[in-house]
Amino acid sequence: MTEKKTLEQKSDRVLQILKFRALYKLEGGEFQDGYTVDIILKSNFEDVTDGEVQYIADILIADGYIEKDESETESLYKITRSGQRFIDEVGYEKRKIDIENRRKIDELTIKSLNRAKLALWISLFAVIISALTLLLDKS
């Protein structure tokens, strides 16, 4: 049984393939007209619904990473320059992992600060007791 892929992984795959398509076209290669987001997703993943295809396409368009390919049929998209930079540098999956790691670091930092605060109070309490003991011994 294969592992269910996340929306981030599917979105990254669309960007990777559209980037490859753009590079291939730049070198004079030709692609078939039926190479849509739907076909990209359904040929790469088993568990894709039509609603998910539309959702991923909408996200990629809203984020500015893909746009309709004016020179092709209406259902084709092309990757934008920002989409190429995004998939080269980060991608949705890595960004999700980075956010989760940042949350974990924040959580551990807060725990560490709470421990340091407790240690400070214990040390302060020990100094006060030592000072009181010293004052009472002098009397």
Q: Which of 69, 89, 109 is the last residue of a domain?
A: 89
Instruction: Please tell me whether residues 59 and 115 are part of one structural domain.
Output: no
Instruction: Please tell me whether residues 45 and 6 are part of one structural domain.
Output: yes
CB burial of 90-109 (b: ≥16 within 10 Å; e: otherwise) equals ebbbeebeeeeeeeeeeeee
Instruction: Please tell me whether residues 10 and 53 are part of one structural domain.
Output: yes
Can you give the pLDDT at residue 74?
61
What are 5's two structure tokens?
Answer: 């892929």
Instruction: Please tell me whether residues 51 and 78 are part of one structural domain.
Output: yes
pLDDT in tens, 80-112: 899 999 998 888 888 888 889 999 999 999 999
Q: Strands, E, within 29-135: which ranges?
A: 66-68, 77-79
Which residues have C-beta within 8 Å of that of residue 111, sequence separation ≥ 6? none
User: Distance between CA atoms of 21 and 18, rounded to whole angstroms?
Assistant: 5
Q: By the 8 A CB rule, do 14 and 61 touch?
A: no
pLDDT in tens, 10-21: 999 999 888 888
Instruction: Please tell me whether residues 75 and 110 are part of one structural domain.
Output: no
Instruction: Please tell me whether residues 109 and 45 are part of one structural domain.
Output: no
pLDDT of 34 strictly over 80 = no
